């Protein structure tokens, strides 16, 4: 099982952690809510928890809790630019359909 970052995403994460001044990595997760059942979580990590699984992707620590990993296995996080807006996008092979906003999905 694994969760990865694209090289571009890893570069941006490292950059943001540097500017923020603290943090050991990035947390990807899901929580049950939203219009399609599940919602993505994307947070800085200051400390890992007991049931966390840690991956390394292009030198960046990617932290996922065990429950979320079931829904995120195989996911690749990318950093993209759309017009003036730029940010992270989950490419999740488990997601069957997404709501239009892309912030929630179901499996």
* Residues of the shown chain interacting with another protein in the complex, contacts defined by CB under 8 A: 13, 16, 19-20, 26-27, 29, 31, 33-35, 39-46, 80, 82-90, 98-104
Min. distance of Cβ 46 from another protein in angstroms?
6
Least separation in angstroms between CB 68 and another protein: 12
Strands, E assignment, 1-107: 4-5, 25-32, 38-45, 52-57, 60-65, 76-82, 85-91, 97-98, 104-106
CB of 91 to another protein, least distance (A): 11
3-state class (DSSP) for residue 79: strand
């Amino acid at each position: 099982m694994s969760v990865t970052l694209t090289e571009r995403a890893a570069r941006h994460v490292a950059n943001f952690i540097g500017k923020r001044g603290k943090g050991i990595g990035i947390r990807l997760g899901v929580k049950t809510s939203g219009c399609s059942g599940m919602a993505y979580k994307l947070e800085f990590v200051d400390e890992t928890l007991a049931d966390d699984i840690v991956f390394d992707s292009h030198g960046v620590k990617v932290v996922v809790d065990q429950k979320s990993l079931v829904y995120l296995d195989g996911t690749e996080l990318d950093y993209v630019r759309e017009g003036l807006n730029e940010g992270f996008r989950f490419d999740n092979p488990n997601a069957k359909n997404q709501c239009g906003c892309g912030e929630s999905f179901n499996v």
